[in-house]
A = this chain, B = another copy of it.
Amino acid sequence: MATTANEDYIKTIYALESSGQRASTSRIAQRLDVTMASVTGKIKHLAAAGYVRHTPYYGVTLTPKGRKLALHTLRRHRLIELFLVKTLGLRWDEVHADAEVLEHAISDKVLERMYEYLGRPEFDPHGAPIPAEDGSIKELTGVRLSDLPSGARSRVLHVSDADGEFLRYLASIDFTIGTAFTLRDRAPYGGPLRIRIGRRELDIGPDAAERILVCPS
C-alpha cells in the first residue's frame, strides 16, 4: 500500500505543512522534481486512499492517516541517517541520499533494532527530532542564528540535511550540532556575524546564519 512514491509525496506534504506553507501542486512538484501533472495524478490517488484531503486548485492537507505515515517515514529516514553516521562512519553530508532510498526498504523489525542499538536516540545527525514509534514528535524550539541578539550565548541546534555543500562547509569550520558559542556582534550592512567558540573566533555570513537554528541558553 505505502509505496516509495507515496511515502515521498506524503513526506513532502508534511514538510510543507510543518513549515507553514500551503501544500500546493506546484510546490510539491518542485520539491520532488516531477511535473505538476504527475502531482495532480498522485494527489487524486492519495486522496482516494485517505491520506490527504484535496481542495482542487488550492492544495492538499494531510489526514491523521497521512500524518501518521509521514511521521513513520520520517522516523525511518532520521534513524537511518543517524545509524549511517554513528555506526558506519559516514559523514553527515553524505547520508541523506542513502536514507532517502533506505527509508522505504527497511522493515520495522530492523528499524527497531537500530533504534535500540543507537540507545533510543532523540535527534538525527542534523539535529532534527526523530519521531517516536507512537507518532509523536518533539518541537524544535530554536531561533535562527541570524535572529540572535549580539552577546547571546547559544548552541547549534539544527541544520537542514538537504544541502550537502553547506553541511561540508559547516563541518570544515567545525560548527556542528551541539557546538556552544557566543555571538560577539554582527558587521553592519549584511556583513558577517562574529562568533566565539571557546578561544576560537569565526565569521559566518548572514545567508548561512539564516539557515542555522540555535538554542539560546
Where the two chains meet, the residues of A that have a C-beta atom closer than 8 Å to any C-beta of B are: 84, 87-90, 94, 97-98, 101-102, 104-107, 109-110, 113-114, 117
Contact = CB atoms under 8 A, between A and B. Distances in A.
Stoichiometry (number of copies) = 2
B110 A98 contact: yes
A211 to B, nearest CB: 26
Given A101-B105, A105-B101, A110 B84 contact: yes
Contacts of A89: 113, 117
B88 A117 contact: yes
Contact of A117 (B87, B104, B109, B117): B87
B102 A90 contact: no
A198 B84 CA distance: 41
A113 B101 contact: no
Nearest to A114: B88
